[in-house]
Structure 1
Amino acid sequence: MPMARTETTAQWQKNLIKQDEIDRYLSSGKDFIDDEAIENEIKANSSASPERIREIVKKAFDIKLMDSADVAALLSVTDPALKEEIFAAAREIKMKVYDKRVVTFAPLYCSSKCVNACSYCGFRCGNEAIERRVLSLDEVEAEARVLASKIGHKRLVMVYGEHPDTDADYIAETMCRVYSIKDPVRGGVGEIRRVNINAAPLPIEGLVKLREAGIGTYQVFQETYHHDTYRKVHPEGTLKGNYPWRLYALHRAMDAGIDDVAVGALFGLYDWKFEVMGLVAHARDLEKRFGLGPHTVSVPRLEPAADTDFSWVKHWVSDEDFRYLIAVIRLAIPYAGLIVTNREKPEMIRSVIKMCTQRDADTRVGIGAYSDAFPETEAGAINHQQEEKQQFMLGDTRSLDAIIRELVDMGHIVSFCTAGYRCGRTGKKIMDALSSGQEGCFCKLNAVLTFQEWLEDFATGDTKEKGSKIIDKEMEEIRARVPADFSKAQLEHLEKGLLRIRAGERDLYF
């Protein structure tokens, strides 16, 4: 359980924000989001010629962060044929940087207690329709055990409300408990090898604790980059109401030694074009100060939540605009992983997945929902869409096995690789490798090994048969790319690795 406290919640809130950990990043007392400048840039580039758009698309293949004026120009495109060229380029760039692999993960919600009052969130503090809980360490372990040993996930995003009961110490303790799981499964071991954290902004001293506990990527989404909208949806006097404290959360993480950070916007709070410009500005400031941008970008849309009124929303994002903004982000921040989640319905995810690199599967967003949905006696017997326990409603509730089967049918290989983080390929090293295409080669090899491991340990018969065929196809491609992209020694190591995994060895990687 969370540690016993002597300070009150009010004292905790007062002491959490360190003003000097905002001021150090400001320029002449201002943050890097200039609302008026962004709006003017969008307007100034609203009539870009097809020739200019094609030049911008061509430059995107250099795998560098795009100039803001060029991003604004892409956002102005309305011609369907020209949009199709941009979609095609987004798919090609994804292939150039990440190949055909798609990484899967699951969120693990550890708490529904929150001191904030965000107008769009089911977990807001004044919402009496939500059951409030903070999982004990044993409960966190039970949830993670389902994910690791019954479903077969290797990566988690652990999610926490902003509350004194879920401070940095609690987050670090839950991470350590998850990493401790080593369960025997069909042919190997059920374990979580990579824990990413989606939590509220923390001071540097708290972020150091997360780094020491083995954090993967630290996610803090700004929700909306538009200052006025931010103030309207995050009431004054709440912790989340402090715009710059949240905006510089990832800067503090970098200074704490966490070199994999993730940005995101909640599309629908304000104009989606502005939010895309904000994401690129965020990446640019990280690059300027630390030499590397975000490891991933997430693109959640507003979704219904228990007892939450959305009549005030004026910027709902259409399916057409949602697909297009994903394409623009893929070109604008081409080195970053791009995450689409089960907020979206299956047909939407299918339509954008060739531009994306990650998606969740077998997802539950309620507190204790995995244990509820997978009781020991009858797996899957309980409905996991329980409004009183979760932050929002899901669009895709299919199993990991079913989603993997679909991805394979679409020509993807599913990767469970976490090798880069244990081999030191993080931060600037992985960004340089992604830009050069080298990381894509490592990822292709490791995707083959880790997917074979998952097929051996968790796949149903049909999924294993289809998965084996995609591995055979990947092996043919790798052999054809020797010696241009892969050495003969790498190929031999890979072939031996597959045999070793089929014989019972686990966690092999390059």
Structure 2
Amino acid sequence: MKAVLAKEEKNWINSVIKEEEIEKYMEGGRDFIDDEEIWEKLKQNQNPEPSRIRDILQKSLSIETLLSDETAALLNLKDPELWQEVFDVAAKVKKKVYDNRIVTFAPLYCGNLCVNNCVYCGFRRDNHVIKRRVLTLEEVKREAEVLAGEIGHKRLIVVYGEHPATGVHYIRDTIETIYSVKVKTKNGYGQIRRVNVNAAPMSIDELKMLKEVGIGTYQVFQETYHHDTYAKLHPKGTIKHHYQWRLYCHHRALEAGVDDVALGVLFGLYDWRFEVMGLVYHARELEKRFGIGPHTISFPRLEPAANTPFVQETRYKVSDEDFKKLIAVIRLSVPYTGMILTAREPAHIRREIIASGMITQTDASTKIGIGAYSDRYTEQELERQQFEIGDPRSLDEVIRELAEMGFITSFCTAGYRCGRTGDRIMSLLKTGKEAVFCKLNAVLTFREWLDDFASEQTKEAGEKVIQKELDELKAKVPHKVYNKLIEYYGRIKNGERDLYF
């Protein structure tokens, strides 16, 4: 059964795409993804010599974005022993840039109405089994209260379908609503301090509106960089069918003054090696145009969704072994970027990938049904969700496991409020200086979370990590800085909140 578009929806669809905001960035009428060139580079860089691979690894350790030929060489690697070297260096790169911290967040789905018809998506327009809903602002507030006041999240990625009911004005209002929430906790208060947005491509004027209201990172996935595959999966007559409108949305965001943008691919739609190359082309294009690359890169794998047979039919499913490889290659190719491993993956895969030391961010206590946090349902109700979640564990459980691995969970958002964003943060990341700020603030925010939300078992594991971090900082930072840290740390233990460097 096909959904029938109302006249006002059709008018809205016809008004969205601004061709002049695409053409201004294109060169000779072409976009920056050349499918034939990508395949040619993958072909030309087959059977790379071990010495070349090791030279590439050293370049990545200097936190330089790799050239496409260098990424292609890594993707063609066959030797298991050399792959282990790749994994080891990828972990060293992450440690150099981000130290041993992991940032946590939660997704908040505000609506599942959508005018698009993407064949792999549970929320596609013609999927009649999905229960459609858009949260009211009061419902958004209740969701935020649970996330900030009961679970303890400080960051959200807020997700919207592409529909006039959840357009830019609704997004603006939900961001303002979420930032307004402040909930009493055991020893302090809960509050969302950074609202990142996963939404459809927008115009420059619309993105300026979101910049004014305090948008965090603007995240849009290209889904697949392969032109023909993209056209097949996103039917004609939909907004999303326009490849270049989506491809250049990060350009428009940066031009609009949004500080941080995020890239991603849905692995399983096309060949994973091609998609990794596409991500590197995209990162280098942003660096060339704006002097900064993506703040984060995500690499979700295709998951089952209600009444969505394409998921079972695809020829491009990514194995667990190849999944680990593509993560390592992205980490080395774009060494400064944050890397997000989502709860799409089952717990055992997340455990293995995080333990490998390449990841900077992950979600927890994840629910992706509309209104799912305050509704309290616990079963996998696919007719309420875009896809099936692989790891539904609580934030407390995930943090305890991270602590037992030796990672500190950071809830820090200080860098964004201190102006360490956009081009200002790139040099700090590439030199490792941002890792010091982050380590200081990770200790403070982790102390805050342990006192306000942790179970006794998690608190016990967390205390050991904090002590290790304090010992490292005492030996690493100037005496004056360490004394200020200890002062802030004591004030937080006494009930003050949101102190940062």
Query: What's the Cα RMSD here?
Result: 0.9
Structure 1: 5+ residue runs without aligned partners?
Answer: 1-5, 374-381
Distance 1:400 1:179 in 2: 21
What percent of counterpart residues are identical? 58
What's the offset of the Cα at 1:237? 1.2
Match of 1:478 among 470, 473, 478: 473
Give 3-state SS (helix, strand or coil) of 1:267's partner. coil
Instruction: Give 1:465 shift.
Output: 1.3
Task: Work out the CA distance in 1 between the residues paired with 2:250 and 2:133.
Answer: 27
Conserved 8 A contact 1:109-1:368: yes
SS in 2 for 1:297: strand
Matched, 1:90 2:90: yes
Partner of residue 376, structure 1 = none
1:341 aligns with 2:336: no
**Distance apart, 1:135 and its partner CA:** 0.5
Q: Could you say what secondary structure the match of 2:454 adopts?
A: coil
Taking structure 1 as the reference length, the TM-score comes to 0.96
Out of 460, 465, 481, the position equivalent to 1:490 is 481
Rounded to whole Å, the distance in 2 between the matches of 1:273 and 1:12 is 37
| Residue in 2 that maps onto 1:330 | 331
Q: What secondary structure does 2:313 align onto?
A: coil
Is 1:106 the counterpart of 2:106? The answer is yes
Give runs of aligned pairs for residues 145-156 of structure 1, distance below 5 A.
145-156=145-156
Are positions 1:402 and 2:405 aligned together?
no
- The structural deviation recorded for 1:300 is 0.3
Of 358, 361, 364, 2:364 maps to: 361
Q: Which residue pairs with 1:435 in the alignment? A: 430
1:389-424 alpha-carbon deviations (Å, 9 max, x no partner)? 100001100000000000000000000000000000
CA–CA distance in structure 1, aligned partners of residues 266 and 78 of structure 2: 23
**Matches of 2:400 and 2:144, distance apart in 1:** 23
Q: Secondary structure at the match of 1:326?
A: helix
Alignment of 1:379-398 (within 5 A): 382-398=377-393
Which of residues 443, 458, 463 in structure 1 aligns to 2:458?
A: 463
Aligned to 2:3: none
Report what 1:318 is aligned to: 319
CA distance in structure 2 between the partners assigned to 1:208 and 1:226 by the alignment: 30
Amino acid at match of 2:438: C
Give runs of ≥4 in structure 1 deviating > 2 Å.
none
Match of 1:246 in 2: 246
SS in structure 2 of the partner of residue 261 of structure 1: strand
1:7–1:506: structure 2 CA closer, same or farther, 3 Å change rule? farther
**Does the 8 Å contact 1:33/1:278 carry over to 2?**
yes
2:491 aligns to what SS in structure 1?
Answer: helix
Q: Partners in 2 of 1:183 and 1:348 — Cα distance?
A: 34
Q: How far apart, CA to CA, are the structure 2 residues paired with 1:257 and 1:429?
A: 13
Matched to 1:493, the amino acid is K
Q: CA deviation at 1:352?
A: 1.3
In structure 1, distance between residues paired with 2:44 and 2:224: 22
- 1:85-484 aligned within 5 A: 85-310=85-310, 311-353=312-354, 354-373=357-376, 382-481=377-476
- One-letter amino acid of the counterpart of residue 232, structure 1: K
Q: Which amino acid aligns with 1:101?
A: R
Q: Which amino acid aligns with 1:14?
A: N
Separation in structure 2 between the aligned mates of residue 385 and residue 473 of structure 1, nearest angstrom: 38
Q: Distance in 2 between matches of 1:189 and 1:341?
A: 27
Kept after mapping to 2: 8 A contact 1:305/1:392: yes
Distance (whole Å) between structure 1 residues aligned to residue 104 and residue 127 of structure 2 = 32
1:312 positional shift: 3.3
Distance 1:506 1:46 in 2: 54
Aligned counterparts of 2:48 and 2:237: Cα–Cα separation in 1? 43
Q: Which amino acid aligns with 2:290?
A: F
C-alpha offsets along residues 94-130 of structure 1, whole Å, 9 cap, x if unaligned?
Answer: 0000000000000000001000000100000000110
User: In 2, distance between residues paired with 1:273 and 1:132?
Assistant: 35
1:176/1:7 Cα in 2 relative to 1: closer, same or farther (>3 Å)?
farther
Q: Could you tell me which amino acid in structure 1 is paired with residue 344 of structure 2?
A: R
Q: Hey, what's the Cα distance between the residues in 2 that align with 1:495 and 1:210? A: 37
For the residue of structure 2 that corresponds to 1:93, the secondary structure is helix
TM-superposed CA distance for 1:7, in Å, is: 7.6
Describe the SS at the equivalent of 1:8.
Answer: helix
Rounded Cα–Cα distance in structure 2 between residues aligned with 1:331 and 1:61:
8
Give distance in 2, aligned partners of 1:332 and 1:197. Answer: 25
Q: Distance in 2 between matches of 1:392 and 1:465?
A: 35
Q: Is the 8 A contact 1:366 1:384 kept in 2?
A: no
Equivalent residue of 1:355, what SS? coil
**What is the rounded CA distance, in whole Å, between the counterparts of 2:157 and 2:346 in structure 1?**
20
8 Å Cα contact 1:107/1:156 also seen in 2: yes
> 1:262–1:296: 8 Å Cα contact kept in structure 2?
yes
Partners of 1:369 and 1:384 within 8 A in 2: no
Q: In the alignment, is the contact (CA less than 8 A) between 1:265 and 1:299 conserved in 2?
A: yes
Amino acid at match of 1:434: L
Query: 1:496 is aligned with what amino acid?
Result: E
Mapped to 2, the partners of 1:7 and 1:234 lie a distance apart of 21
1:383 deviates by 1.7
| Inter-partner Cα distance in structure 1 for 2:177 and 2:279 | 33
Q: Which structure 2 residue ranges, 5 or more long, are not aligned?
A: 1-5
Give the distance between the partners of 1:403 and 1:148, measured in 2 at CA: 17
1:172–1:210 Cα contact (<8 Å) kept:
yes
